[in-house]
Structure 1
Amino acid sequence: MPIDLSHRIETGMTVYPGDPSVSVEPHATHARDEYRVDVARLGSHTGTHVDAPIHVIPGGRTLDTYALDRFAFEAEKVDCTDLGDRDPITRERVPDRELDLVVFWTGWSTHWGTDRYLDHPYLTPEAATACAERGYAVGTDTLSPDPTPTENATGSEPDGFRAHHAVLGAGDLVVENLRNLGALPERFELRAYPLALGGDGAPVRAVGIVE
């Protein structure tokens, strides 16, 4: 059974601070043109999307260097819904089993479209390194596996994109802004095929497959 894990792409949707804003507007209409076409303006990391290594690694791999089967993952969901605003996800929560991708379920997708969505839990550098060492891609229902800068940030948080660097630097992928993870069992298949942009990242239609 397929379960939709993607946010709808629409005008004014949440984006990472500094990323391009999103608009989806009519270009042609039935009344004027006898057909409909919309024009979409968005960044490569809009909504539910996948990051390629070149996103943060100069000279890193681009999306078009990965075979399509790399975007279908045997995944395990880790329940992190006990965490609050800007809480760390520590190394102890990272599983050590045979799988392609670990999904950290924080429940933060319920805050999508609000300011609080930016104050999400994040992976510690040690947790991200453990994922990289075990060969895992990373999925999350947050804006980033790293802390997102807001006025609520504290001095104890890691700076920069250390979780991104650990996972993407190992040649693995990162899938961000998932939703509806509560509808999934602990083990499932995640399919997250990107638009054929071929570069640093692209929106995906993420689907969880449950037997």
Structure 2
Amino acid sequence: MFRDLSRPIETGMPTYPGDPGVTLGPDATHETDGYATSGLRTGTHAGTHVDAPRHTVRDGETIDDREVGSFAFDARLVDLGPLEPREAVGPDALPDPSALDEAVDLLVLRTGWASRWGSERYRDHPYLTAAAAGRCREAGVGVGLDAFGPDPTPTTGDGPESGPPTGGDEPDGTPAHDVLLGGSLPIVENLRGLDGLPDRFRLYAFPLRLRGADGSPVRAVAEWE
């Protein structure tokens, strides 16, 4: 069986605070030109996408540095719900590295936040602590999740540099990203359709071949027997 886990790319879709907005519309039309083409303006981290290490690691690998086969994952679903808005997810919520099958190379974390897509509440997703990201790095597994990312998303300002959005105990910067990407582990963000997936499945998240890019939109597809 196959299931599309991707967000549609469309004009005005939600984007991370400070990222470019997305526009998709006609460039040529059958009525005026006899054929149809469209213009697309998007950031590299719009919609369902994969982060390359270069995203937060200055000298990290870019999207086109990685072999295409590295974007086909043996995934394990981890249901973290129910979670509170902006709840910190610690390492104890994740599988112990010793309990993971060696074939697993991506943990797909279901937070339940996919249902909030398109609303301001989507920014209030739970996030991984640096220690939780460290557990993933110890196990050698990347992370996929149904949220903007593994770090807190600011509710105001232009991005992580604006500081903790609530003034509480949330971390500055992108510590979970840094731990995972610093270990050359993948992060797949803004997944959808995780309800009802089996515990184990194959996840394909092939990026565009963007030269020197720090990330790319993907068509994320789950496959299982």
- Range of TM-score over shorter length: over 0.9
Aligned length: 211
Is residue 2:195 matched to residue 1:182? yes
- The 1-side partners of 2:88 and 2:75 are apart by 21
- The 1-side partners of 2:170 and 2:10 are apart by 31
- The 2-side partners of 1:173 and 1:155 are apart by 28
Which residue does 1:83 correspond to in 2? 83
Q: Which amino acid aligns with 1:6?
A: S
- The 2-side partners of 1:92 and 1:189 are apart by 25
- The 1-side partners of 2:122 and 2:62 are apart by 28
Calculate the TM-score normalised by the size of structure 1. 0.97
- The 1-side partners of 2:61 and 2:209 are apart by 15
- Please show how residues 43-122 of structure 1 align to structure 2 within 5 Å: 43-95=43-95, 96=97, 97=100, 98=102, 99-122=104-127
Which residue does 2:210 correspond to in 1? 197
Q: Judge conservation of contact 1:8–1:47 (CA < 8 Å) in 2.
A: yes
Query: The residue matched to 2:173 in structure 1 has which SS?
Result: coil
Which residue does 2:171 correspond to in 1? 158
Which residue does 2:223 correspond to in 1? 209
Which residue does 1:139 correspond to in 2? 144
Q: Judge conservation of contact 1:125–1:158 (CA < 8 Å) in 2.
A: no
Q: Judge conservation of contact 1:53–1:61 (CA < 8 Å) in 2.
A: yes
Unaligned runs of 5+ in 2: 157-164
The worse-fitting range, judged by mean Cα deviation, of 39-48 and 80-89 is 80-89
- The 1-side partners of 2:127 and 2:201 are apart by 22
Which residue does 1:40 correspond to in 2? 40
- The 1-side partners of 2:15 and 2:81 are apart by 22
Calculate the TM-score normalised by the size of structure 2. 0.91
- The 1-side partners of 2:146 and 2:120 are apart by 15
- The 2-side partners of 1:38 and 1:81 are apart by 40
The Cα shift of 1:81 comes to: 2.0
- The 1-side partners of 2:37 and 2:14 are apart by 23
Q: C-alpha deviations, 1:22-67, integer Å up to 9, x for none?
A: 0001101111111111100000111000000010001111111111
Q: Taking every aligned residue pair, what percent have the same amino acid on both sides?
A: 51
- The 2-side partners of 1:9 and 1:188 are apart by 24
Query: The residue matched to 1:76 in structure 2 has which SS?
Result: strand
Point out 4+ residue stretches in structure 1 off by more than 3 angstroms. Answer: none
